[in-house]
């Protein structure tokens, strides 16, 4: 009973926050609501028992996306970009109507689902042993459907190249983002010195734990990225130039490693085949590489394209 | 084998054609006129050797050329060939100084080929081809002097000739289609009861009538004959027009079914005969008057040809008409040549010329004892009732008209300096032949001299002349003015009445370069709207909803 | 799915989020707002996906949708990152964060 | 026989590896020189394998569906793979001088290469995938690479076009993803082969079908969701435009084809199919009308893509909607694939050729075409030949496609679509006439030129579209590999 | 036992809802951000309660990440609030 | 050999075409040698084939593209009639074009497309199935367009637009007809006409109309003819190609195929389509003639004359009569010979004396006698004067019309003849009898032999075709053979 109350309250909160994020007059307020929204959704995932997803949502959905948006709002505001007026009521009504219809259809579809369908839970459980890992989600992510994950990591690479290619030509060869600085000894700088060791530890832990518990390269990588960004914001480190060979190696390393394992699998039984006896080590290696590249890539995504002189 | 059967008919056509081509050879130019008298000689020889029993066939040429010669054809052929030869001689002298002699010769030969071909053709296509060959190249003969009048005459000639060709073609096609054969005799027989007979006959008669100067299709004739150089006028009036008559003779089917056509033709022919006289009397120029005389004479022949289908023995009657044609052709040829001669001679020679012309004129009018009398008597023998009388009476008119010509000729002055002998000789030869030849041929067509010389016939030949003399005397005595009629009569009226029917409109100016397609603003607006996400998004979502709903439905 | 168990409730919540997010995605003009809305729709979908995979409370949540959702979240982040960069670049170049056709004064002229 | 079985994996792995190298060690000449031949070899392997052994199915990692992902190389996907390889291969060679890397790396000079290779990998991933969620990732991959390429020039107009494209593409992704989620919820699998065996008349499946169809239609730029395409494709650098216009919409169309003919062949209602056909037909007419009105070369070519995409959707009313294959089904289905492939060649050739004309003239107004037949005959010829395919005139793949579609339209009694197909050809002539005619004008002003070897490449690509029409029997048969047997018979 | 934990979580959620009013009202950007931080903290607590309720201690990782990322978000917010977007409000006079 | 010969003949045009495209502008000799060599070789092969086909040999090659779409090459007597015409005229036109365009620009392009046109025309002639016919028919459209716009001025572009607009629309309609028909019957081969008897008459009518409308564009039936006069802006050899060798002939040839090899004339009559077709053809004949009458320019006049003349062929095909179809078929050749002569000459007049309008032609006969003679022969032939070729066509058509029980056909022919005379004779008159005008006065002497020989040759051929019409190997003889062999009941 209380469970139901909790669920209902959480759902209502989520919906309300979502509405606020969508309809909020102030853009900044909307973004803040969005961060809150991510947080609440992470609660929902937790409540549903999908801890891996909750981690991802907390780190990525609420965390990194929120930071990206906050930065963008600030950037636009500084650029003097004015907010457009809201749409006419008539158009709004039509749009709303159609959205209600769409949501209704989805609801109807949900209502029509077979309540006892178990999906692939059992199948995954049967094969978990051969996957080499104990966390079924990781097994799916990196073994059963490792191909998805391979493409996904490359998607991050694409986006990074895309973001970089939005630089002004004259800044090519420069460092991503703006040079950050903070008052030496100030709260920010101190924060930047304090938090990283903790974060680093948490990040590595989430990656390492991922094989058998909830967690993994994406969640861990995100934490690592956040840590690096924190340090950078504190003005303690600076991003290397986009042309730096080492930087590029870093962002490519994870996917390349993954691809190499995948191709090597051809000689061991098939594309992306991980022999059960080595699966765990292989997956951990891949996860480590991916975490590194993901961390670098995500951090660079938040930093944005080069905005400073080349050299 | 390219040719089967006697070679001479083929040669009769081939030689003039070859000579015509030869005229185009530059080396030939100085002596090109010498070709003219030679060209018709094989045809003359052929005619003299008489009708051939066999046909000459050239299956490769055209749609299969078939040549042959019967008695009628032989007469037409002979007289024409002779006239062409004599006119050719005449031309060697007459044309000596003119420009573009080679063109003249080439087209002369071409026309000649066609003219002879008409008489030799035994299949419809060859007939038609020949008929065209005689029509169109003749244009070049008419306009040779390239004066305004000549060109105008040529233009009118051309229009009519073309109408004539087309009509003839269509008529022949109709006839041949029914006959399922190209052989003329079969075509003619089939035509008697062909479904499209009336149309075919009408069309063929238009085609042939134009050539033969059937009033009112004659208008080209008084324009063209005077404008052509004299030797050309001679062959035009003497030989070429005969192609039309010959066509009627070979193409009109016989039989009672032809009664209406026969009547119509006789009427038209006789009408033309009298009209020609009246119009001729209104002329100022000797050649124009002579041309009208031809119209008149052709009218008689057309009337006779019209009567032929109903005759007891159409073939024999055709030969009679041929006889008339022979006389008229040679006489008229000679008369035209006389105009040429008159331009050259003075003094005694001129008197002699006038005397000869008078004799020829009287012969044409049917003066007893002349060849003309033979021809006319023979012709009348085939006609009955009022037609015969009218033919006889027309002789008075002919006499008057030729008197008019004689007077005009006498009044004309000589100015040329062409060699007289080469002009005189063909004139005299043609004239003499005209006077004599009918007598020689009469037996062959079943006309006995005794018949010609019978009292009745003598009288019927004489009274019109007397009447003519009386009228002439009266006219001269009373100084009655003959109203002037412009040469070409009807066409002049037509020219005035009808504004240029087919004038060239100025070329329609091209529409200006099309300016870029007009901006269709609604489309722009639509595209803009579709680009607007706040429009396109709901549409997209709506589509998803609608599709889902449709699937669910 | 009938009955108001947790999974169904969150699935319907997801449906509601989809509706709300879609409205924001369609009605808003500001690109960043659209991005926010995009993420709301995205997480709504994930919620539907995940909740429907958690129907059998006895078996625990289905790991396959979970893995797919994680992948989806990363892809959504990637997309958002690229879009944010585009919007910022566009604001630098054009001085606004809306597409020209979405500007109220836009009358359809190039 | 192990080699052909590798082909699916290699066709994704090779361009990916090339992309990684291009990020780290930008040596385009070397990379293109190795990758393109290597990929052609892989394609040859794939074709051989499919021809001899039928469809190649590769369970990735050895995990059979529904647990794992299957890569499927049947006739259809191999055809798209080969078309992609030939098109991108050519485009990359043409792009070499346009995106050089000399001493100092430049932004576009660097970014183009990994993006192009990644796009290649992404497209191949789409074409090979037998799993709907994997397709989602791959399609997103395509979209993001495309977005980056659209904005590569970096001017406000291009960034704007990219953002606009993003709206449609993101919506499409969301709708597709939601559909996939519902399908999984309903059936517990996302494998196309397995889905095909399951009944699909439940609410969730049908709602999913609607969402997936609409989402993919938006990504394919079907009218009326096309408005993003012209500015996006026209704004990109010519080699990028060539890839975008020729291949990218085909990827989402390919998925639609897979979805409707393989995954859920029985779900479609007749009215919905007619609706899709009607949208396609409208696209043909509307896109052509707009193409006629363009004054910029690249815009014109881009609107032509809008029109040409319309043909693809005629496959739904002509071949879809019945479990019982009709005699004309195979013809219509094959016709639309023929159209997709030959349009890919022709459109890529046209964009590349136009790109050369624009390079030489320095602008992309119509007058860039003036005197082209004299200045750059090969380019003019390439344009002409590709125009032939776009107009659907024989002998070209476009014609074969149109013929097959037309035959199906008549055979199935849907004469209206036949009329539209024919009208579309005439309209294509109308909009292609202006640039082609200008090529015959005397040239005014100063023009540069492009090396002949460069000019030859678009021509070769254009000729490919013609060859597809001349030797169409083999591709036709090849495409049937892996199709349901009943549909192979074709129209007698 | 478990019902109690969940009841506490419900109460916490209600607190969070109250904090949301601050996020909505503002008036200052800082007010909003602080409201969000409050929700974040509450969220961490709720996760911990849930973990206890379910007996699934892996859920604590979620709490850990949430708290870390909440801190990160506030830093980002601070940066955004600085004048040039790359500095430190403390530097400003 | 039987399999390969059609392909070899096609290659004689295609190969020079393809090579020519890639030759540099200044490789004049190579280009000329290629094109002339191809033309001569083709002529030789065609002559060989004439003998073989005359003996009853039939060549056939077939390969399938996709189901329902086979490429069938089949050479029967009718094919050979068309192909012989185009081959002979191609050779002459090439000679002429080399001289005419000497020193011009863009010649590789020109000759490349020129040969491509001939390739397409040959393909049309060799087509053994409807769809093959269509393939080449379209190719012809495409290959011709660059020639029409060859000059590259505004007028050419405009003409090109009109040309494409009409022909492509026509092709589209044709394609619809073809596909519709084949959807009812399966692939249609000429050798084995489909069984149409059982099909719905209204469908058959609709398909017939579509096919005829599609083909009628190229055949320049009235209403669909607009492109033809506009296309006159192209250089003279192109006009020759359009009017005599390839384009309009392709349309007319196609109509003959449709009527005789697909529907069969009996069926056409049965579904009441023969008379309408004949009526349209007749209307075109008269319309073209009347329009020609009002033209100022020489080439427009010739163009409208073509509009009129080509419909003779259609008329022949539409009449239910063997004789008529002989007339129509033979006119295919005859009109070609005569019209090409006229265009050659018009080109020479233009080239040598700058004559464009009829007004400017005064007295040109004195300066350019040979050309003028050739022109005169062509014009007289067009009028239908014997013994030039046009006459034989008319004769057969007229007779055939009567056989078919359509006497009005004869009237149409008659009126047309008169109108032809009315527009051609004044031109001849001006050429020969007007005082030389400024153009004639300024004219150069008659040009190089290569410019002069083709018109003289074609004029001579036109004359010979009429003069020796009854010969077995004359066009008429061949047309009769075709009809006896292929269309005799």
Q: pLDDT tens digits, residue range D276-287? A: 999 999 999 999
Q: For D423-475, what is each residue's pLDDT tens digit?
A: 888 889 889 888 888 888 887 778 888 888 899 999 999 999 988 888 888 88
**Minimum CA–CA partner of B524 in chain D:** D290
Which residues are D73's β-sheet partners?
A: D56
Contacts of D289 in chain B (CB under 8 A): 520, 523
Confidence (pLDDT) at B505: 42
Domain identity same for B536 and B476 = no
* 3-state SS class at A250: helix
F154 with B505: Cβ contact below 8 A: no
Six token digits for residue D98: 């346009």
Q: Cβ distance D174 to D158 under 8 Å? A: no
Confidence (pLDDT) at B186: 87
F330 lies in some domain: yes
Residues whose CB is less than 8 angstroms from the CB of residue B494 and which lie 6 or more positions away in sequence, other chains included: none
* 3-state SS class at B50: coil
DSSP F261: I
F284 lies in some domain: yes
Confidence (pLDDT) at D162: 94
Interface check for D150 against chain A (CB to CB < 8 A): the answer is no
Flag whether pLDDT at D395 surpasses 80.
no
Domain identity same for B455 and B546 = no
Question: Of B91-105, B471-485, F27-41, F279-293, where does mean pLDDT reach its minimum?
Answer: B471-485
**Minimum CA–CA partner of A128 in chain D:** D67
Write out residues 66-105 of C within 8 Å (CB-CB) of A: 66-71, 73-82, 84-89, 91-92, 95-98, 102-104
Interface check for B507 against chain D (CB to CB < 8 A): the answer is no
Q: Cβ distance F310 to F220 under 8 Å? A: yes
Domain identity same for B316 and B381 = yes
Interface check for D419 against chain F (CB to CB < 8 A): the answer is yes
F285 lies in some domain: yes
Domain identity same for B463 and B540 = no
- For chain E, the structural domain boundaries read 2-85
Count of structural domains within chain F: 1
Query: What is the residue-averaged pLDDT of chain E?
Result: 82
Flag whether pLDDT at B383 surpasses 80.
no
| Domain boundaries, position F341 | 273-489
F328 lies in some domain: yes
Task: Using CB atoms, pick whichever of C18, C35, C95 lies closest to residue A106.
Answer: C18
Of F412, F166, F230, F210, the residue nearest F308 (C-alpha) = F412
Confidence (pLDDT) at E93: 52
**Minimum CA–CA partner of B1 in chain F:** F471
Confidence of residue B476 (pLDDT cuts 50, 70, 90): confident
B538 with A101: Cβ contact below 8 A: no
F397 lies in some domain: yes
What does each C-alpha distance from A143 to A7, A148, A282, D257 come to in angstroms?
Answer: 33, 10, 10, 29
What does each C-alpha distance from B543 to D63, D224, D265 come to in angstroms?
Answer: 37, 10, 20
Nearest-CA distance from B531 to chain C in Å?
A: 7
Q: Cβ distance B424 to B391 under 8 Å? A: no
F402 with B60: Cβ contact below 8 A: no
C26 with B533: Cβ contact below 8 A: yes
Domain identity same for B537 and B419 = no
Contacts of C22 in chain B (CB under 8 A): 541
Q: For F160-184, what is each residue's pLDDT tens digit?
A: 888 888 888 888 889 889 888 888 8
Interface check for B549 against chain D (CB to CB < 8 A): the answer is yes
Confidence of residue A286 (pLDDT cuts 50, 70, 90): very high
Task: Output B28 or D158, whichever has higher pLDDT.
Answer: D158
C102 with B533: Cβ contact below 8 A: yes
Task: Using CB atoms, pick whichever of B151, B162, B506 lies closest to residue F421.
Answer: B162
Q: For A120-177, what is each residue's pLDDT tens digit?
A: 888 898 898 888 888 999 999 999 999 999 999 999 999 999 999 999 988 888 888 8
Nearest-CA distance from D185 to chain B in Å?
A: 17
Contacts of A98 in chain B (CB under 8 A): 538, 541-542, 545
Whole-angstrom Cα distance, residue B194 to residue B258?
12
Q: What is the CA radius of gyration of chain C?
A: 18
Mind listing the domains of chain C with CATH numbers?
6-98 (1.10.287.3510)
B508 lies in some domain: no
Q: Cβ distance D78 to D46 under 8 Å? A: yes
Domain identity same for B319 and B435 = yes
Flag whether pLDDT at F235 surpasses 70.
yes
Flag whether pLDDT at D487 surpasses 70.
no
B507 with F295: Cβ contact below 8 A: yes
D107 with A106: Cβ contact below 8 A: no
Q: For C24-49, what is each residue's pLDDT tens digit?
A: 999 888 999 999 999 999 999 999 99
What does each C-alpha distance from B178 to A4, B191, B261 come to in angstroms?
Answer: 106, 7, 19
Confidence of residue D322 (pLDDT cuts 50, 70, 90): low
Interface check for C97 against chain B (CB to CB < 8 A): the answer is no
Confidence (pLDDT) at C75: 94
Query: What is the residue-averaged pLDDT of chain B?
Result: 83
Q: For B144-197, what is each residue's pLDDT tens digit?
A: 887 888 888 888 888 888 888 888 888 888 888 778 788 888 888 888 887 778
Interface check for C90 against chain D (CB to CB < 8 A): the answer is yes
Q: Cβ distance D24 to D123 under 8 Å? A: no
Q: Does the interface predicted TM-score (ipTM) exceed 0.95? A: no
**Mean pLDDT, residues D306-312:** 95
**Minimum CA–CA partner of C103 in chain B:** B532
Confidence (pLDDT) at B192: 82
Count of structural domains within chain B: 2
B297 lies in some domain: yes
Whole-angstrom Cα distance, residue D79 to residue F214?
34
Contacts of E6 in chain A (CB under 8 A): 2-3, 5-6
**Minimum CA–CA partner of C18 in chain B:** B541
Flag whether pLDDT at B418 surpasses 70.
no
Flag whether pLDDT at C2 surpasses 70.
no
Contacts of D159 in chain C (CB under 8 A): 86, 89-90, 93-94
Interface check for D168 against chain B (CB to CB < 8 A): the answer is yes
Task: Using CB atoms, pick whichever of A47, A50, A116 lies closest to residue C66.
Answer: A50
Ranges B390-394, B535-539, D276-280, most confident: D276-280
Confidence of residue D491 (pLDDT cuts 50, 70, 90): very low
Domain identity same for B470 and B540 = no
| Domain boundaries, position B538 | 528-552
Taking CA D425 as the corner, what is the angle to CA D421 and CA D429, rounded to the nearest 5 degrees? 165
Using CB atoms, list chains with 3+ pairs below 8 Å to chain B. A, C, D, F
Interface check for C93 against chain B (CB to CB < 8 A): the answer is no
Q: Cβ distance C74 to A155 under 8 Å? A: yes
Confidence (pLDDT) at D488: 44
Whole-angstrom Cα distance, residue F328 to residue F326?
5
Confidence (pLDDT) at D29: 92
Residues whose CB is less than 8 angstroms from the CB of residue B499 and which lie 6 or more positions away in sequence, other chains included: none
Q: How many CB atoms lie within 10 A of CB D383?
A: 31
Domain identity same for B457 and B533 = no
Contacts of C24 in chain B (CB under 8 A): none
Contacts of D151 in chain C (CB under 8 A): 86, 89
B206 lies in some domain: yes
Task: Using CB atoms, pick whichever of C32, C67, C95 lies closest to residue A140.
Answer: C67
Q: For D358-386, what is each residue's pLDDT tens digit?
A: 999 988 898 898 888 888 888 988 998 99
What does each C-alpha distance from F276 to A31, F176, F248, F319 come to in angstroms?
Answer: 76, 21, 20, 10
Task: Output F106 or F453, whichever has higher pLDDT.
Answer: F453
Alpha helix (H) residue ranges in D258-296:
270-292
Residues whose CB is less than 8 angstroms from the CB of residue F317 and which lie 6 or more positions away in sequence, other chains included: F252, F255, F256, F259, F260, F265, F277, F324, F325, F328
Of A113, A263, B203, F326, the residue nearest D181 (C-alpha) = A113
Q: How many CB atoms lie within 10 A of CB D158?
A: 24
Contacts of D144 in chain C (CB under 8 A): 78-79, 82
**Minimum CA–CA partner of D117 in chain A:** A158
Flag whether pLDDT at F148 surpasses 70.
yes
Cα separation of the two ends of chain D = 35
């Amino acid at each position: 009973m209380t469970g139901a109350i909790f669920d209902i309250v959480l759902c209502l909160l989520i919906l309300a926050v979502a509405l606020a994020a969508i309809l909020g007059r102030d853009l900044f307020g909307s973004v803040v609501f969005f961060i809150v929204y991510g947080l609440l959704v992470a609660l929902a995932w937790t409540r549903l028992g999908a801890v891996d997803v909750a981690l991802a949502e907390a780190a990525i959905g609420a965390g990194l996306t929120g930071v990206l948006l906050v930065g963008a709002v600030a950037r636009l505001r500084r650029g003097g970009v004015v907010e457009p007026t809201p749409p006419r009521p008539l158009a709004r009504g039509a749009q709303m109507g159609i959205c209600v219809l769409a949501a209704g259809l989805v609801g109807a579809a949900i209502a029509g689902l077979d309540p006892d369908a178990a999906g692939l839970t059992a199948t995954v459980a049967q094969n978990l042993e051969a996957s080499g890992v104990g966390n079924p989600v990781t097994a799916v992510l990196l073994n059963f459907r490792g191909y998805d994950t391979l493409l996904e990591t490359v998607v991050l690479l694409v986006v990074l190249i895309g973001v970089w290619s939005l630089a002004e030509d004259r800044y090519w060869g420069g460092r991503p983002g703006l040079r950050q600085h903070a008052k030496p000894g100030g709260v920010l700088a101190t924060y930047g010195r304090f938090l990283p060791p903790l974060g680093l530890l948490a990040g590595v832990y989430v990656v390492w734990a991922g094989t058998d518990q909830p967690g993994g390269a994406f969640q861990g990588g995100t934490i690592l990225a956040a840590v690096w960004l924190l340090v950078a914001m504190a003005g303690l480190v600076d991003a290397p130039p986009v042309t730096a060979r080492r930087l590029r190696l870093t962002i490519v390393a994870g996917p390349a490693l993954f691809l190499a394992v995948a191709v090597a699998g051809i000689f061991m039984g098939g594309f992306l085949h991980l022999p059960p006896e080595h699966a765990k080590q292989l997956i951990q290696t891949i996860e480590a590489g991916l975490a590194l590249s993901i961390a670098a890539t995500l951090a660079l995504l938040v930093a944005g394209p080069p905005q400073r002189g080349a050299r | 084998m390219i040719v089967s059967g006697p070679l001479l008919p083929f040669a009769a056509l081939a030689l003039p054609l070859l000579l015509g081509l030869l005229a185009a050879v530059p080396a030939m130019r100085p002596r090109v006129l010498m070709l003219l008298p030679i060209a018709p000689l094989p045809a003359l020889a052929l005619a003299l050797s008489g009708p051939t029993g066999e046909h000459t066939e050239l299956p490769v040429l055209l749609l299969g050329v078939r040549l042959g010669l019967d008695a009628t054809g032989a007469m037409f052929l002979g007289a024409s060939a002779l006239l062409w030869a004599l006119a050719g001689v005449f031309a060697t002298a007459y044309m000596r100084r003119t420009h573009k002699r080679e063109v003249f010769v080439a087209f002369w030969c071409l026309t000649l080929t066609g003219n002879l071909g008409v008489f030799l053709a035994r299949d419809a296509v060859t007939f038609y081809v020949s008929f065209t060959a005689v029509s169109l190249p003749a244009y070049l003969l008419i306009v040779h002097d390239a004066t305004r009048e000549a060109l105008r005459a040529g233009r009118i000639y051309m229009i009519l000739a073309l109408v004539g060709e087309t009509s003839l073609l269509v008529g022949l096609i109709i006839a041949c289609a029914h006959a399922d054969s190209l052989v003329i005799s079969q075509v003619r027989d089939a035509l008697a009861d062909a479904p499209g007979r009336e149309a075919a006959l009408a069309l063929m008669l238009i085609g042939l009538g134009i050539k033969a100067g059937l009033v009112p299709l004659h208008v080209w004739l008084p324009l063209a004959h005077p404008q052509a150089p004299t030797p050309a006028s001679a062959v035009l009036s003497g030989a070429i027009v005969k192609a039309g008559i010959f066509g009627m003779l070979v193409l009109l089917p016989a039989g009672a079914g032809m009664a209406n056509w026969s009547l119509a033709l006789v009427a038209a022919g006789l009408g033309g005969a009298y009209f020609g006289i009246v119009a001729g009397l209104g002329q100022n120029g000797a050649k124009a008057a002579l041309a009208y005389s031809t119209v008149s004479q052709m009218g008689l022949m057309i009337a006779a040809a019209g009567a032929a289908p109903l005759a007891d023995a159409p073939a024999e009657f055709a030969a009679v008409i041929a006889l008339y044609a022979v006389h008229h052709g040679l006489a008229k040829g000679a008369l035209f040549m006389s105009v040429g001669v008159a331009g050259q001679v003075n003094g005694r020679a001129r008197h002699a010329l006038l005397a000869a012309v008078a004799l020829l004129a009287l012969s044409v009018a049917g003066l007893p004892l002349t060849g003309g009398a033979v021809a006319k008597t023979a012709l009348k023998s085939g006609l009955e009732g009022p037609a015969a009388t009218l033919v006889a009476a027309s002789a008075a008119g002919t006499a008057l008209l030729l008197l008019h010509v004689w007077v005009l000729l006498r009044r004309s002055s000589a100015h040329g300096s062409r060699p007289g002998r080469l002009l005189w000789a063909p004139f005299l030869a043609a004239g003499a032949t005209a006077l004599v030849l009918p007598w020689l041929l009469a037996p062959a067509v079943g006309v006995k001299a005794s018949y010609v010389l019978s009292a009745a016939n003598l009288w019927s030949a004489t009274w019109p002349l007397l009447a003519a003399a009386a009228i002439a005397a009266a006219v001269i005595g009373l100084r009655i003015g003959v109203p002037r009629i412009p040469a070409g009569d009807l066409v002049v009226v037509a020219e005035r009445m009808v504004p240029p029917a087919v004038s060239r409109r100025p070329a329609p100016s091209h529409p200006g370069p099309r300016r870029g397609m007009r901006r269709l603003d609604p489309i722009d607006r639509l595209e803009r709207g579709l680009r607007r996400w706040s429009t396109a998004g709901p549409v997209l979502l709506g589509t998803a909803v609608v599709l889902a709903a449709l699937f669910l439905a | 799915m009938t009955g108001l168990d947790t999974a169904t409730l969150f699935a319907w919540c997801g449906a509601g989020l989809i509706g709300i997010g879609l409205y924001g995605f369609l009605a808003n003009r500001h690109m960043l707002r659209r991005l926010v809305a995009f993420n709301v729709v995205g997480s709504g979908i994930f919620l539907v996906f995940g909740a429907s995979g958690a129907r059998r409370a006895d078996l625990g949540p289905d790991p396959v949708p979970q893995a797919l959702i994680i992948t989806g979240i990363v892809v959504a982040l990637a997309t958002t990152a690229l879009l944010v960069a585009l919007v910022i670049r566009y604001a630098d170049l054009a001085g606004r964060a809306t597409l020209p056709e979405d500007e109220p004064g836009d009358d359809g002229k190039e | 026989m192990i080699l052909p079985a590798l082909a699916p994996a290699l066709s994704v792995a090779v361009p990916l590896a090339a992309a990684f190298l291009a990020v780290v060690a930008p040596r385009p000449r070397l990379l293109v020189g190795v990758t393109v031949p290597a990929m052609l070899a892989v394609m040859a392997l794939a074709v051989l394998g499919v021809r001899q052994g039928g469809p190649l199915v590769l369970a990735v990692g050895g995990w059979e569906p529904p647990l794992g992902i299957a890569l499927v190389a049947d006739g259809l996907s191999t055809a798209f793979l080969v078309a992609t390889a030939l098109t991108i291969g050519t485009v990359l060679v043409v792009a070499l001088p346009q995106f050089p890397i000399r001493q100092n790396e430049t932004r576009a000079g660097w970014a183009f290469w990994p993006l192009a290779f990644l796009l290649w990998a992404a497209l191949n991933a789409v074409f090979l995938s037998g799993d709907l969620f994997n397709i989602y990732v791959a399609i997103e991959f395509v979209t993001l690479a495309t977005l980056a390429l659209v904005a590569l020039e970096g001017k406000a107009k291009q960034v704007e076009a990219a953002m606009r494209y993003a709206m449609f593409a993101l919506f499409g992704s969301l709708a597709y993803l939601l559909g996939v989620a519902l399908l999984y919820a309903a059936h517990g699998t996302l494998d196309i082969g397995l889905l095909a065996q399951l009944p699909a008349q439940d609410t969730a499946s049908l709602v999913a079908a609607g969402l997936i169809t609409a989402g993919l239609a938006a990504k394919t730029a079907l009218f009326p969701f096309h408005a993003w395409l012209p500015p996006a494709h026209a704004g990109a650098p010519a080699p990028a435009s060539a890839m975008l216009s020729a291949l990218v919409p085909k990827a989402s169309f390919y998925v639609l084809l897979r979805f409707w003919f393989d995954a859920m062949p029985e779900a479609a209602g007749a009215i919905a199919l007619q609706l899709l056909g009607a949208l396609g037909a409208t696209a043909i007419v509307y896109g052509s009308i707009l193409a006629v009105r363009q004054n910029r070369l690249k815009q014109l070519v881009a609107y032509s893509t809008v029109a040409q995409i319309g043909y693809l959707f005629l496959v739904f009313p002509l071949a879809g909607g019945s479990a019982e294959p009709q005699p004309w089904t195979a013809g219509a289905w094959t016709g639309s694939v023929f159209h997709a492939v030959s349009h890919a060649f022709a459109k890529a050739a046209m964009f590349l050729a136009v790109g050369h004309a624009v390079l030489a003239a320095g602008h992309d107004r119509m007058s860039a075409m003036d005197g082209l037949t004299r200045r750059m005959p090969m380019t003019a010829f390439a344009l002409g030949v590709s125009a032939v395919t776009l107009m659907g005139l024989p002998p070209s793949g476009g014609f074969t496609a149109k013929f097959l579609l037309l035959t199906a339209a008549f055979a199935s009694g849907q004469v209206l679509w036949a009329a539209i197909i024919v009208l579309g050809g005439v309209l294509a002539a109308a909009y292609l006439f202006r640039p082609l005619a200008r090529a015959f004008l005397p040239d005014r002003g100063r023009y540069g030129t492009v090396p002949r070897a460069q000019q030859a490449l678009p021509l070769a690509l254009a000729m490919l579209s013609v060859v597809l029409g001349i030797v169409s029997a083999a591709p036709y048969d090849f495409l049937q590999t892996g199709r349901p047997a009943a549909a192979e018979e074709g129209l007698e | 036992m478990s019902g109690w934990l969940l009841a506490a979580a419900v109460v916490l959620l209600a607190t969070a809802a109250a904090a949301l009013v601050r996020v909505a009202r503002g008036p200052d950007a800082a007010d909003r951000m602080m409201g969000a931080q409050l929700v974040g903290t509450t969220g961490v607590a709720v996760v911990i309660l849930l973990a206890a309720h379910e007996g699934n201690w892996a859920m604590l990782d979620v709490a850990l990440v949430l708290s870390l990322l909440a801190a990160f978000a506030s830093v980002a917010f601070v940066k955004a609030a600085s004048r040039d977007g790359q500095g430190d409000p403390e530097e400003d006079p | 050999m039987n399999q390969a010969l059609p392909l070899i003949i096609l290659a004689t045009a295609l190969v020079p075409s393809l090579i020519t495209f890639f030759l540099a502008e200044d490789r004049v000799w190579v280009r000329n040698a290629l094109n002339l060599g191809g033309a001569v070789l083709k002529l030789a092969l065609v002559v060989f084939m004439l003998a073989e086909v005359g003996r009853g040999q039939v060549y056939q090659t077939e390969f399938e593209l996709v189901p329902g779409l086979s490429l069938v090459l089949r050479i029967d007597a009718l094919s050979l009639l068309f192909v012989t015409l185009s081959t002979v005229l191609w050779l002459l036109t090439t000679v002429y074009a080399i001289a005419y365009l000497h020193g011009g620009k863009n010649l590789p392009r020109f000759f490349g497309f020129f040969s491509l046109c001939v390739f397409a025309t040959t393909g049309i002639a060799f087509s053994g199935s409807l769809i093959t016919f269509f393939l080449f028919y379209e190719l012809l459209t495409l290959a011709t367009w660059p020639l029409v716009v060859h000059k590259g001025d505004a007028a050419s572009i405009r003409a090109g637009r009109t040309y494409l607009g009409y022909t492509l629309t026509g092709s589209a309609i044709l394609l619809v007809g073809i596909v519709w028909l084949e959807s009812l019957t399966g692939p249609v081969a000429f050798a084995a006409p489909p069984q149409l008897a059982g099909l719905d008459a209204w469908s058959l009518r609709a398909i017939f109309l579509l096919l005829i409308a599609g083909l009628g564009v190229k055949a320049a039936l009235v209403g669909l003819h607009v492109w033809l006069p506009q296309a006159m802006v192209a250089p003279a050899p192109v006009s020759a190609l359009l009017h005599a060798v390839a384009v309009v002939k392709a349309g007319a040839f196609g109509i003959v195929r449709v009527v005789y090899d697909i529907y069969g004339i009996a069926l056409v009559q049965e579904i009441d389509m023969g008379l309408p077709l004949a009526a349209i053809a007749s209307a075109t004949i008269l319309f073209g003639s009347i329009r020609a009458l009002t033209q100022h320019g020489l080439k427009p006049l010739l163009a409208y004359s073509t509009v009129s003349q080509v419909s003779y062929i259609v008329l022949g095909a539409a009449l239910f009569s063997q004789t008529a179809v002989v007339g129509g078929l033979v006119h295919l050749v005859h009109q070609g010979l005569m019209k090409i002569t006229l265009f050659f000459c018009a080109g020479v007049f233009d080239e040598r004396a700058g004559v464009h309008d009829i007004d400017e032609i005064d007295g040109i006969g004195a300066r350019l006698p040979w050309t003028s003679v050739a022109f005169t022969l062509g014009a007289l032939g067009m009028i239908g004067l014997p013994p030039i070729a046009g006459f034989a066509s008319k004769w057969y058509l007229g007779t055939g019309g009567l056989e078919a029980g359509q006497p009005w056909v004869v009237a149409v022919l008659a009126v047309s003849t008169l109108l032809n005379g009315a527009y051609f004779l004044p031109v001849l008159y001006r050429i020969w009898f007007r005082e030389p005008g400024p153009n004639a006065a300024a004219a150069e002497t008659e040009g190089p032999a290569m410019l002069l020989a083709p018109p003289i040759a074609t004029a001579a051929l036109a004359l010979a075709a009429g003069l020796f019409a009854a010969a077995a190997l004359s066009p008429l003889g061949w047309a009769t053979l075709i009809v006896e062999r292929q269309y005799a009941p």
